[in-house]
A = this chain, B = another copy of it.
Amino acid sequence: MSDYPIDHKDQAATWFVTLRDRICAAFEQLEDDLAGTEHAALPASRFERQEWHRPDENSESGYGGGGVMSVLRGRVFEKVGVNVSTVHGTFSPEFRKQIPGAADTGHFWASGISLVAHMRSPLVPAVHMNTRHIATSHAWFGGGADLTPMYPELHEQDASDFHAALRGACDRFDADYYQRFKKWCDDYFYLPHRKEPRGVGGIFFDTLNTGDWAKDFGFTQAVGEAFLAIYPEIVRRHMNKSWTPEQRRHQLIRRGRYVEFNLLYDRGTTFGLKTGGNTDAILMSMPPEVIWP
């Protein structure tokens, strides 16, 4: 890690913060633009930010970086969390073997953005997006985005457009990326105990290092740009439609699947919680209200 170019770290960490700011602005614009549904009478909401710091008992300074949680609880977005963090430190011996390039010293540096949006309307799909850059003695990018409509059969156009946006980002960098990363997403976001996919998919990639840092960083940026281009558009298509109590109930049940996936299978969540990550930031992805009838 010590010889990993500092400007690479800076560029990546700066990008994640810039992307966060642009996403938050786009989401606040959607809050402003709501015109239909009974919730239009509520005030448009704004993100609130909270900083956190990561203590690191293994480092000399005792300081291991930190992050900023941005949360909006609003009239379009019932709860959306956008987290950025840049952390560094030393993995405990039992985790070193699980992380590429960490076996020797255990040193790591990681920066990323992570977002989960749970919508008020059952007619607006929930979404997840996350990209990250990690450096040990290796360095790589990872991330992805996936869409979770409550009624997949009513969102074929949305699913198609969401995939097309991500495919556009992929195709600019490698003709194989989209098929590979779409399949990775389908395989990853699957609930075996329900025999159900989490949603209508998207892309997922990890340990991406082609040997061309600028290309890999460019691709990671393109995934963020694609998300920003398509998701607010999908929200806008549906946010002014009114819904029934039965549709709301269905949404709250479907959110249970989101909880089950994140706590049972999601590696980021379980790894984060079991390695002393920031619990509030990690569990920002939990839906605001859920039922298991």
- Give residues in A with beta carbon < 8 Å to B: 73, 79, 192-194, 256, 259-260, 263-264, 270, 273-274, 279, 282-283, 286-293
Interface pair B288/A193, CB less than 8 Å apart: no
Q: How many copies does the complex hold?
A: 2
Interface pair B273/A263, CB less than 8 Å apart: no
Contacts beyond the supplied A286-B292, A288-B291: 13 A-B pairs with Cβ under 8 Å? A79-B292, A192-B274, A193-B273, A194-B279, A256-B286, A259-B259, A260-B283, A287-B292, A288-B292, A289-B289, A289-B290, A289-B291, A290-B291
A215, B280: Cα distance in complex, Å: 46
A286, B253: Cα distance in complex, Å: 12
A260, closest chain B residue (CB): B263
Chain B nearest Cβ from A80, distance in angstroms: 13
Report chain B residues within 8 Å CB of A288.
Answer: 291-293
Report chain B residues within 8 Å CB of A256.
Answer: 286
The one of B194, B264, B279, B286 that contacts A193, using a Cβ cutoff of 8 Å: B279
A79, B293: Cα distance in complex, Å: 8
A270, B270: Cα distance in complex, Å: 13
Chain B nearest Cβ from A70, distance in angstroms: 16
A255, closest chain B residue (CB): B290
Chain B nearest Cβ from A290, distance in angstroms: 5
